[in-house]
Structure 1
Amino acid sequence: MTAHNWVDLRQHEHAGIETLRAHFEGHAYDPHWHDAYLLGFTEQGVQQFECRRARQHSTPGNVFMLEPGDIHDGHAPSDRGFTYSMLYLKPDWLALELRAWSDEVPATGEPHFPTTLTEDNGLATAIARVVHALRDEEPRVVRQGAIDGLLEHVSGHLSWRLRLAYDPRIPSVAHRARDYLHAHLYDDIGLDELATICGVDRFRLSRVFKASFGLAPHAYLIQLRLTRARQWLAQGTPPAEVAHKLGFADQSHLGRWFRRAYGLTPAHYGKRCTNVPDFASNNL
């Protein structure tokens, strides 16, 4: 991370919502996904990212909306870089809050964003209000009011669907490989071994898997492990222990992948999420 880049991540103790403000110049982070819904807006500059096989350019006031599992990256195409604010919303929390907010929300299915980028000043303002309400430790009534305003604006961008564990458009070999990776998250899996299990050679497996899910099998497995790492770090598990449990060579190996995906170190992430005081923001 360059001297001009910074990341300020916080997790609200009671709401359980992560808020993030960050600034990047040049390359921001590699392709990755989250197990949460991401709602954010660009404050300054041009925020370029690839998502759902399309390149997006978010400018000030634009809102980006990503679902759990949406693979995306980040880059600043201009010299000034970009600054943005973002909320991480847990899927169960968002679904429950939306159903409590309106009786018209279906009782089944998870929220779905048909598009990943929109120009909606009202939604951008609603996101900013939640970020400030949580970070400024506003009274609970103010925080809830901000969240209700967010739900109202988000609802205008949602369609509803049941998430299918099996997508018939994806080749069966890709499904088998993905299911095996999920079931053997902690194992030292070789590409030849995975290809044999799926009944194809490793070259075909890599082509089909990447075409289906946007990442090569090894990169997909790394993302699975990073998602689990975030969960354990947020619970206070030391980075070295997380690295060992997830099959990384050491803490530094975990740290390299973590920073490439999220723009901050595992230790910094853990401190932010467990409310342990950090020493200095420039230690990123």
Structure 2
Amino acid sequence: MSCTALFWRDPLLPHVESRRACDSRANYKAHSHPTLSIGAVDQGTSLFSGAAAGPTLIRAGSVVWVPADCVHACNPCPGTAWSYQMLHLDAAWVEAVRQVPALASSASRRQVLLSDDPGLYRRFCQLNDLLFSTASWQDKDAALIEFIGDFSTAEQPAISRIVDPARASEGVRRVVALLRQAPHAISPLEQLAQLAGLSRYQLIRAFRTATGMTPHAYQLDQRIIQARSSLRAGEPPAALAQRLGFADQAHFQRVFKAHVGVTPGMYKA
């Protein structure tokens, strides 16, 4: 069974990207997004990894809300395929639209929410149908604003709270900042441990607690986040692979597909 992945973007609506995947068997590595991600399962089932209680089964008709910077992976159950939709929304844009009290906003940013409400799933599908249609960008923007404004995080069950790097030690925060600022740099674990003032073992444990990843996995994730942005801006994959510090284009393609589910060329197109 073949997999079809479609992306929708509009330069007039830079705060949103939508994706549709049909009959997908792609398995993702743990990754994060700088955006709020809202997904819906259309067919099949998926295991959401990243919840505090362990992998969570997500069924057809479910809608999941994944805050920005939450380390997670959604993969089909072994030996099966699934179909899904995913919206990626600029987190600052979402907060500006919602205009919720600061305390409530802070709480929703730290929780993964999972809803089995048929009405919410139906409204999500209607929104995504509109985004992929030939409707005007103004109509699409209005529908997005209405959907996000109506989305009540207080009414949706939470399956996890995300980790908060801001609560890590000063040394770990220095390493996080370095890897965010220069994901392309060669950063041996020993040097990162020295920067943190910890042993290599202590850094791995503390870093995973703060981010959900090891330093190396976090650096690769930051490279892919930057790669997605640069591909959307039109940068060629070959030049991007070299600039981001991958060994070669084949290495870049393997890592990108493991995080995004498609090749850099497919994503750019």
Aligned-partner SS, 2:27: strand
Partners of 1:140 and 1:231 lie apart in 2 by 21
Q: Partner residue of 1:67? A: 67
Kindly provide the CA deviation profile for residues 65-113 of structure 1, in whole angstroms up to 9, marking residues without a partner as x: 11111111122115442111111111122122223xxxx5559966526
Partners of 2:12 and 2:23 lie apart in 1 by 29
Q: Partner residue of 1:258? A: 256
TM-score for both structures, normalised by structure 2: 0.86
Q: Which runs of no fewer than 5 residues in structure 1 stay unpaired? A: 272-284
Q: What is the root-mean-square deviation of aligned Cα atoms in Å? A: 2.6
- The residue type equivalent to 1:182 in the other structure is R
Question: Is structure 2 residue 96 aligned with structure 1 residue 96?
Answer: yes
2:244 pairs with one of 243, 246, 252: 246
- 1:150-189 superposed matches below 5 A: 150-157=147-154, 166-167=166-167, 170-189=168-187
Aligned-partner SS, 1:68: coil
Q: Contact (CA 8 Å) 1:38, 1:66: kept in 2 or not?
A: yes
Partners of 1:25 and 1:142 lie apart in 2 by 30
Aligned-partner SS, 1:69: coil
Q: Contact (CA 8 Å) 2:2, 2:23: kept in 1 or not?
A: yes
Q: Partner residue of 2:114? A: 117
Q: Partner residue of 1:28? A: 27
**Shift in alpha-carbon separation, 1:42–1:10, aligned structure 2, 3 A:** same
The CA deviation at 1:240 is: 1.1
Partners of 1:56 and 1:218 lie apart in 2 by 26
Q: Partner residue of 1:38? A: 37
TM-score for both structures, normalised by structure 1: 0.82
**Shift in alpha-carbon separation, 1:155–1:195, aligned structure 2, 3 A:** same
1:143 pairs with one of 121, 140, 143: 140
**Shift in alpha-carbon separation, 1:158–1:190, aligned structure 2, 3 A:** farther
- 1:121-136 superposed matches below 5 A: 121-136=118-133
1:198 pairs with one of 196, 199, 205: 196
**Shift in alpha-carbon separation, 1:105–1:137, aligned structure 2, 3 A:** farther
The CA deviation at 1:18 is: 1.0
**Shift in alpha-carbon separation, 1:157–1:189, aligned structure 2, 3 A:** same
Partners of 2:252 and 2:150 lie apart in 1 by 37
Kindly provide the CA deviation profile for residues 190-241 of structure 1, in whole angstroms up to 9, marking residues without a partner as x: 1111112222221221122123321111010111111111111110001111
Q: Contact (CA 8 Å) 1:33, 1:70: kept in 2 or not?
A: yes
Partners of 1:14 and 1:201 lie apart in 2 by 48
